[in-house]
Structure formats: C-alpha cells, structure tokens
Structure 1
Amino acid sequence: MRPSLTIFDEPLLYTEGLSKLLEQSGIFSSINLCNCQEALRILLKENPPEFLMISSNILIFTDLYKSVEKITTENKRIKIIIIGNDYDVIDIRKLFNKGIKSYLDKNSSYDEFIKSVKALLHNEIYICNHAKDRMIHFISNEQENKSHTGDPLTRRELEILKLICDGLSSKDISEKLFISINTVETHRKRILLKLNVKNSVGVVKYALENHIID
C-alpha cells in the first residue's frame, strides 16, 4: 500500500510544483500541502500522513526542533523528512535524536529527495551527501580532538563543567557547592587543560558534542 505525504513548506508555487512531480512518480497515494502550523496541527490530528516533509523555509530551527519533538511524541509512525538550511552537524544530530528519519539540505536535488523516500520505505534513515560530508569531517575532527584530550574529568570537575554550561560564575558555583572561589578557579583551569580548550565557550562546545548536556 502506497503511503501518504504532507508537505509543510512555502511558497505555494514551489510546493505545488513539487507535489505534481511526486504525483507523477506514483510513490504516494495522496499529497497534502500545508503552509501554516494550525492547518498542520488539524491534519496531523484528523488524518496523519505516513510521511511528513518540513522545510526550514517555514520554521526557524528552535521552532522546528520543538515541532519535531511534539509530532514524534504524539505519533511515532510518521516518518519526518527535514529540508534544512546547511544546519550544523550538532543540530542535525539533535533532530535525529528526536526522531526524524531523513535530513536533506536546501541544495539537495529532486533525485536525492526520491532516494531518501525510497530509503524510508525500507525503514532506513537517510542523510544527504552534503550533510554526510560535513558529518564525516566533524567526526574526524572530534576524534582528533579526543586524542589530544588529557585525563578524564573527575566527578567534581563534571559537576563544575555542567554549572559552567548553565552560565554560573565562579562565585555562584562556590556558593552552590560550598567551596571557595579559589578551589573553583583551580577546577576551571584543570577542566580547560584536560579538554584542550581556551575558555567557557570551548567547555560548552565540548559538553554539547559529547552529550554531557543537551
């Protein structure tokens, strides 16, 4: 049985053209177009599709992330395809962690879109070639950085790392953990040295990349 598809995107001229191409492919039994969140909400409630394509044209990343989270929580059967705008590898990972099945960049071709659909029909996930190259480069750099990382962080250092990521100052951390500011500063220096980073921004980046914080 052929699946149904909903395209959540704009402008209308583009979505209508894409839907006509897809109708000719014969892959989908029906194709619905939405260009506002209320229409999408009603459709997902009354007649949820098997496939849902969401574009960064219509939602900024934070709203897109929240929408994916809500949709996958309420209906795990929907296979979500995201058309992103050269998203960072970390953001792409976040979307997959929330349940999307396919990620394409805006420069992906129609043929690659069809390729991703066929992968999803076989219950596989799909990442476009452009994003895949960035991901491979990112992982290579990540592994290289880890090879230069010193001793693993102690439990106390991990605790302080998380508080740094929460934006707390050394004074705030000392009061929260009932330790002196000097002790906090010593831990900070050791954390920077072990992670081979220069400042708090580097600490936060490390914590995100290694899933210590979300």
Structure 2
Amino acid sequence: MKPRLTIFDEPMLYTEGLSKLLMQSKLFNTIGICNSLETLNKNLKDQTPEILVMSSNMLMLTELYQSIESITTEYKNIKIIVLGSCYDVIDIRKLFNKGIKSYLDKNSRYDEFLKSVNALLLNEIYICDYAKERMIHFISNEQEKRSQHIKEPLTRREMEILKFICDGFSSKNISEKLFISINTVETHRKKILLKLNVRNSVGIVKYALENHIID
C-alpha cells in the first residue's frame, strides 16, 4: 500500500507545486499540506501520515527539536524528513537523536528528495550528499586535531593507569592495584601528561571524558 505524505512548509505556492509534482511520481496515496502547527496537529490526528516533511522555514531549531520529539513519541510509525538550512553536523546529529529518519538541505534537488523517500520506504535513513560532505570534513578535522593533540598513542598500561587516575586513585593506590612500584606509576603518569599535552590529573580526566574513555 502506498504511504500517506504530509508537508509542513510554506509558502503555499511552493507546497502546492511540490504536492502536484509528487503526485505525478505515484509514490504516495495522499499528500497533505500544513502551513501552521495547528493544521499539522489536526492532520496528524485525523489521518496520520507514514512520512512527514518538516521545513526549517516553519520553526526555530529549538522548536523543531521539541516538535520532532513530541511527534515521534506520540506517533511512533511516522518517518520524518527535515529540510534544513545547511545545519552544522552537531545540529544534524541532534535531529537524528530526536527521531528523524532523513535530512536534506535546502539546496537538495528533487531527485535526492525521491532517493530519500525510497530509502525511508526500505526502513533506511538518508542524509543528503551536501550534509555528508560536511560530516566527512568535520570528522577529518576532529581526527586531525586528535592526532595533533596526542604525539603518540597511549600504551595498554598507560590506559589502565589513566582510568585509575580518573577514578581518583593515588599513585600509591595504583601501585598496589597493579603490583608495580610507585616510581613506575609516576613514570607512567608523566608520560601520559606528556602524550596528552595536559598539565595535571584534571586535564587527564577532561581528555578521558571528551573522548568517551570514561562516562
């Protein structure tokens, strides 16, 4: 059975034109248009769509987060596509955490929109090519920063000691736990500080938290 689609966007001329174009694709059973939160809420209650397109034109980003979370909580089977205004990687990641299944930028073309819909019909997620490029660039920069931050990787023993430091153990406690001398612990501690380019235990803990070594 063909899915129902709801478009939450403006202006009306654009949404009506998109609706007619999409009906020609014969992908959808019905297409609803909503230009306010009131009409959207009514549409969701009266005839819950399988796919909902939400535009960044309609809501501030914080409001968009709240609306997505509310909708996905109440209507668990809805698959949401967000048309964003070139959001950064962190914002896009948060949108997916809130429950969207697809992200398209405003400069995405019609054929990419169709790819997105087909991916959702296969229960897959979809991110437009432009956003993917930004994500790859973001990851590359993070890896470069990390490689600059650490001159050489920590050894297995240094990782053990790092975790003990984060748990608040003293050098004496660590030496007793690992059956090594305090001097050996202190040597490892100095190497950890040097490799992480931090000054003290607080810097070690901060690094461990930021890199998810500890929760």
Give the TM-score range, shorter chain.
0.7 to 0.9
Q: CA deviation at 1:146?
A: 2.5
Give the distance between the partners of 1:104 and 1:193, measured in 2 at CA.
35
**Could you say which residue in structure 2 is the equivalent of 1:56?**
56
Q: Contact 1:103/1:126 (CA < 8 Å) preserved in 2?
A: yes
Residue 145 of structure 1 aligns with an amino acid whose one-letter code is K
Give the distance between the partners of 2:118 and 2:15, measured in 1 at CA.
20
Q: CA deviation at 1:148?
A: 3.4
Q: Secondary structure at the match of 1:136?
A: helix
Q: Contact 1:79/1:101 (CA < 8 Å) preserved in 2?
A: yes
Q: 1:16 to 1:143 in 2, by over 3 A?
A: same
Q: CA deviation at 1:192?
A: 10
> Is 1:82 paired with 2:87?
no
Q: Contact 2:166/2:204 (CA < 8 Å) preserved in 1?
A: no
Q: Secondary structure at the match of 1:10?
A: coil
Q: CA deviation at 1:122?
A: 0.9
Q: Contact 2:101/2:124 (CA < 8 Å) preserved in 1?
A: yes
Q: CA deviation at 1:39?
A: 1.1
**For each residue in 1:46-94, what CA deviation from the matched residue of structure 2 results, as whole angstroms up to 9, or x when unmatched?**
2210000000011111111111111111112100000000001000000
Q: Secondary structure at the match of 2:124?
A: coil
Q: Percent identity of the aligned residues?
A: 61
Q: Rg bigger for which structure? A: 2
Q: Contact 2:56/2:85 (CA < 8 Å) preserved in 1?
A: yes
**Could you say which residue in structure 2 is the equivalent of 1:15?**
15
TM-score in terms of structure 2 length: 0.72
Residue 14 of structure 2 aligns with an amino acid whose one-letter code is Y
Q: Contact 2:7/2:32 (CA < 8 Å) preserved in 1?
A: yes
Residue 54 of structure 1 aligns with an amino acid whose one-letter code is M
Residue 32 of structure 1 aligns with an amino acid whose one-letter code is G
**Could you say which residue in structure 2 is the equivalent of 1:122?**
122
Q: CA deviation at 1:45?
A: 2.0
Give the distance between the partners of 1:32 and 1:193, measured in 2 at CA.
49
Q: Contact 2:166/2:205 (CA < 8 Å) preserved in 1?
A: no
Q: Secondary structure at the match of 1:114?
A: helix
Q: 1:72 to 1:155 in 2, by over 3 A?
A: farther
Q: CA deviation at 1:107?
A: 0.3
Q: Contact 1:8/1:35 (CA < 8 Å) preserved in 2?
A: yes
> Is 1:65 paired with 2:69?
no
Give the distance between the partners of 2:206 and 2:117, measured in 1 at CA.
46
Q: CA deviation at 1:144?
A: 2.0
Give the distance between the partners of 1:59 and 1:72, measured in 2 at CA.
17
Alpha carbon RMSD of aligned pairs, Å?
Answer: 2.7
**For each residue in 1:88-127, what CA deviation from the matched residue of structure 2 results, as whole angstroms up to 9, or x when unmatched?**
1000000111111100000000111011101111111100
Give the distance between the partners of 1:145 and 1:156, measured in 2 at CA.
26
Q: How does 1:41-52 map to 2 (within 5 A)?
A: 41-52=41-52
**Could you say which residue in structure 2 is the equivalent of 1:164?**
none
Q: CA deviation at 1:133?
A: 0.3
Unaligned runs of 5+ in 1: 158-185, 196-205
Q: 1:39 to 1:187 in 2, by over 3 A?
A: farther
Q: How does 1:149-164 map to 2 (within 5 A)?
A: 149-150=149-150, 155=166
Q: How does 1:162-201 map to 2 (within 5 A)?
A: 190=203, 194=207
